[in-house]
Every structure is written in structure tokens, then in C-alpha cells.
Amino acid sequence: MELRTQALKVLCETDPTRKAEQARALYLAPPPLDTEMRLSAPQGLPGRPDRPLLVPADQVPTRSPFTPLGRAALLHAICHIEFNAINLALDALWRFPGMPQDFYRNWLQVAGEEALHFSLLREHLRSLGHDYGDFDAHDGLWQMAERTRDDVLARMALVPRTLEARGLDATPPIQAKLRKAGDLRAVEILDIVLRDEIGHVAIGNRWYRWLCEARALDPVDLYPTLVARYEAPRLRRPFNLEAREAAGFSPEELAWLDQDGAPGPVRHTP
């Protein structure tokens, strides 16, 4: 089966274990690629299990990572992000025809690595007596994928280099809390996640800039327009400026963050 067709099939898979295994297998042994094929979206994308129950983001309770239940809830939230990230990578892979071959190979790599992240986090969550689906979650990542489904440029701007880049900022403070709580295995897993996510955001930056150049658009000037048009969430400090720089954000883009965000930038070393 052709790669993008198979990616859509994996995206439709509802069982989290099978989805992660299939995404990983597709990455390790990709079939032939047809960059021009136009595929139709089936009903019910993405495939996902009955649980977790999806609720508005402001209804997802926050819990202290310094209690066993709170730490499990925090790791579940990260696990849910990684499950969504598998779906987002597979969706970019199948949905947008006519891009260079490297575009699809890049998103196949992302899907495979996100599948590994999900599996590592779920295994650790199970060691704490819980499983994926035990806590409520929200659907913000996929909602932005829906809004940008008709424009690959908007998708690159607002999913990998906006929503997923927030993980670069959030991960070091979360690791600090988990280290203080004594969960060194979770810290180790998030080291892997942060390392790979820098590369994933860099892929988003690469293709955002490629598309801007192809359409004769200025990437720095365009970005705030896309944020407003698609109602992307406003980014908040602290920013992990080193990780963002490593992921390919330009000095102009980092300066825009410094101007647009809430008070006082904080630099975290990955």
C-alpha cells in the first residue's frame, strides 16, 4: 500500500496501542510514496478510543504533581498530547498533496517518534497504577488541525511551530517538578520527548518558511495575521529560548515573542 494511503488508515485506527505500533512500523519500513495522490477524508477523523472523555480545556482539573494521583494526572495529560501528536503527524502526511518528498518523509519521522513517546509515557503511567483514558482531557490540538485542514501553510504555522512549540517551553518546568517529586523515570522520558520535539518544531519551521517563499510571503509578517485569522492561543512566558532557537526560530521571531508575551522572558536550558 502507498505511504500516504497507509498513513490515513493508521490515522483512522481507534485503539491507541495499535495506532502507536502501526505508526512506528510505518516509519521503520515505509512503503512507496505518491506525492500527488488526492485522498478524501473519511468520517470520524481522527480514530481514537472512547476514553479519555474530551471536555473543554478549562474543565480539565489541575492537580499537584506532589501527590500520587496528581502526578498520574499530569503524566496522563502529557500522554494525551503525544497521542494527539501521532494523529497530527499522520494527518499532515496524508492530507496535503503536491509537496516535496521530504515533506512526507519528515512527517513520517514525526509520527514514528511521537508513537514512541506515547508508548513510553503510557508504560510509565501504567507503572503508577493508571492507564491512558483514566482522566479527562481536552481536544485543543486537533481542533486547530481541523481549522487549518484546507491550507498547509496555516497548518505548519499554527500546529508544529505554535501549539507543539509550547511543549518546548513547558517541559523543563514540568521536569523540575517531577524531579522534586522523585519521579526520575518521568524526567528521563521527558528528556527524550524534548530532544525529539526540538526536531519536530524545526520541521514545522522548515516547511513554513518553504511555503512562505513559494508564495512570496514574509514569514515574520505573516505569522501574527495567521494567529488572528485562525484564533490561535496567545503564547505565554516563560519561553525556552534556547530550545526555540535550536528548533530554527529566527532572531526576529524570538524578538516578536519577547514583545508579544506576558512579563519577563525566562531562559531554560534543555
CATH number of the domain within which 237 lies: 1.20.1260
Mean per-residue pLDDT of the chain: 93
User: Tell me, what's the pLDDT at 191?
Assistant: 98
Tell me: pLDDT of 61 over 90.
no
Least confident piece of the model among 17-21, 53-57, 168-172, 209-213: 53-57
Percentage with pLDDT > 90 across the chain: 86
> What is the average per-residue pLDDT within 118-131?
98
Give domain status of residue 54, yes or no. no
Give domain status of residue 50, yes or no. no
**DSSP labels, 52-74:** SPB--GGGS----TTSHHHHHHH
User: Tell me, what's the pLDDT at 206?
Assistant: 98
Range of the domain at 71: 3-32+62-260
What is the grid cell recorded at 112?
514514528
Higher pLDDT, 262 or 49: 49
Structural domain total, the chain: 1
Tell me: pLDDT of 264 over 80.
no
What is d(CA 179, CA 170) in angstroms, rounded to the nearest whole number? 15
What is d(CA 86, CA 112) in angstroms, rounded to the nearest whole number? 8
Give domain status of residue 55, yes or no. no
What are the Cα distances from residue 141, in Å, to 54, 69, 148, 195, 233?
Answer: 12, 24, 11, 20, 11
For residues 234, 235, 237, 243, the Cα torsion angle rounded to the nearest 10 degrees is -170
Give domain status of residue 267, yes or no. no
Which range, 40-49, 228-237, 257-266, is most confident?
40-49
Helices (H), the chain: 3-12, 16-28, 68-95, 101-127, 140-147, 152-158, 166-180, 184-214, 219-229, 241-246, 251-260
Higher pLDDT, 237 or 251: 251
> What is the average per-residue pLDDT within 64-79?
94
Tell me: pLDDT of 263 over 70.
no
User: Tell me, what's the pLDDT at 260?
Assistant: 55
Give domain status of residue 47, yes or no. no
What is d(CA 88, CA 90) in angstroms, rounded to the nearest whole number? 6
Tell me: pLDDT of 270 over 80.
no
Give domain status of residue 37, yes or no. no
What is d(CA 200, CA 85) in angstroms, rounded to the nearest whole number? 10
What is d(CA 260, CA 256) in angstroms, rounded to the nearest whole number? 6
> What is the average per-residue pLDDT within 129-148?
95
pLDDT-derived band at 19, boundaries 50, 70, 90: very high
Give domain status of residue 110, yes or no. yes
Closest of 101, 94, 106 to residue 39, by C-alpha: 94
Tell me: pLDDT of 172 over 60.
yes
What is d(CA 263, CA 36) in angstroms, rounded to the nearest whole number? 46
pLDDT-derived band at 262, boundaries 50, 70, 90: very low
Least confident piece of the model among 16-20, 57-61, 239-243: 57-61
Higher pLDDT, 11 or 64: 11
Give domain status of residue 49, yes or no. no
